[in-house]
Amino acid sequence: MVTIGGTGVMVLGALAAGVVAVLLALLTRRRLGTTSAVAVSGLLWSLVTIALVTLVPTRADIGVVPAEGRSESCSWDYGGPSGAAFEVLGLDQRTLNVLLFVPAGVFLVLAVGRWWSGLLLAPLGLVALAAYSLGIELAQLQLARLDRACDVTDMVDNILGAGVGFVVGLVLLPVLRPWRGRRTDH
Residues 10-19: tens digit of each pLDDT? 999 999 999 9
pLDDT above 80 (res 59): no
For residues 39 and 33, what is the distance between their CA atoms, to the nearest angstrom? 10
- Please tell me the pTM assigned to this model: 0.86
Furthest-apart CA pair in the chain: how many Å?
A: 58
For residue 81, pLDDT over 70 is answered with no
What band does 6 get if pLDDT is binned at 50, 70 and 90?
confident
Q: What are phi and psi of 54, to 5 degrees?
A: -100, -20
- Please tell me the distance from the alpha carbon of residue 101 to that of residue 129, in angstroms, as a whole number: 8
What does the pLDDT read at residue 61? 75
Name which of 11, 12, 158, 167 is nearest 89 in CA terms.
11
Residue by residue, what is the 3-state secondary structure of 104-137? HHHHHHHHHCCCCCHHHHHHHHHHHHHHHHHHHH
Distance, in Å, from the CA atom of 35 to the CA atom of 79, rounded to the nearest integer, reads: 37
Judge whether residue 186 has pLDDT over 50.
no
Provide the pLDDT confidence category of residue 40 given band limits of 50, 70 and 90: very high
For residue range 108-164, list pLDDT tens digits in order: 999 999 888 888 999 999 999 999 999 999 998 888 667 788 889 999 999 999 999
